[in-house]
Chains A and B, each alone.
Chain A
């Protein structure tokens, strides 16, 4: 069973920040939050991940609440090429186990 819930779809104007929320209220202490996106039918593309601290890279920022029950992916200046399905994923990573548990994702539509 997926451990995350996300809105089915969102819209964002080009140039504006896109804020994609994710609920993971049952996450365990050793489970990471990962974000991937999938453009058309290509293979998922890694965006960012975190455990409990906020993270930023060249693509996006990840804000994780203090209780770790939810997070937000921020694309600071969305472009048309950011139109994709965004997956918030819990990664179970412990002895001899390494799983990405996908949900159904958020379809982000960036419009001109």
Chain B
């Protein structure tokens, strides 16, 4: 039982490049979400999903896309990377509403 797995752990991109941050959970959790954390700040919600086929925007969705074709996977896509997207990205999941969310170990992304 691996929990929430995020890949890659580290990534450096050039401005304008695109990439996908992967998030997978093996706990059959319905709810998944993506957060970003900038230095000295709390986590900010980017996008979330309450189940397969359903996604919605969080606080800071601009520049990011998500999809949820399966229960297990919730990839985050950066369409055209910008230096302002340099951050640590965390994925989280929970079995249902009102239950604790489990977080992955994060992806540290630098955009030059």
Give the distance in Å from the alpha carbon of A105 to the alpha carbon of B40 in the complex. 10
Q: Which of B13-21, B44-52, B62-70, B72-80 contacts A (4 or more CB under 8 A)?
A: B44-52
**What's the nearest-Cβ distance from chain B to residue A99, in Å?**
6
CB contacts (< 8 Å) of B97 on chain A: these are 93-94, 98
**What's the nearest-Cβ distance from chain A to residue B103, in Å?**
3
Given A41-B88, A43-B106, A96-B56, A32-B98 contact (CB < 8 Å): yes
Residue on A with the closest CB to B30?
A98
- Check: A111 CB closer than 8 A to any chain B CB: no
B33 touches A100 (CB 8 A): yes
B43 touches A44 (CB 8 A): yes
Given A32-B98, A93-B98, A104-B42, A99-B105 contact (CB < 8 Å): no
The secondary-structure label for the interface of chain B is: strand
Interface range, A side: 20 to 34
Kindly identify which residue among B50, B59, B101 contacts A46, using a CB–CB cutoff of 8 Å: B101
A98 touches B103 (CB 8 A): no
A99 touches B98 (CB 8 A): no
Using CB atoms and an 8 Å cutoff, list the residues of chain B in contact with chain A: 4, 31, 33, 35, 40-45, 48, 50, 54, 56, 58-59, 88, 90, 92, 94, 97-98, 100-106
Using CB atoms and an 8 Å cutoff, list the residues of chain A in contact with chain B: 2, 32, 34, 41-46, 49, 87, 91, 93-94, 96-105
A–B complex contacts, Cβ < 8 Å, 29 sampled:
A2-B42, A41-B88, A41-B106, A42-B105, A42-B106, A43-B90, A43-B103, A43-B104, A43-B106, A44-B90, A44-B103, A46-B101, A87-B42, A87-B43, A91-B98, A94-B97, A96-B56, A97-B56, A98-B31, A99-B45, A99-B48, A100-B92, A100-B101, A101-B59, A102-B42, A102-B44, A102-B45, A104-B40, A105-B42
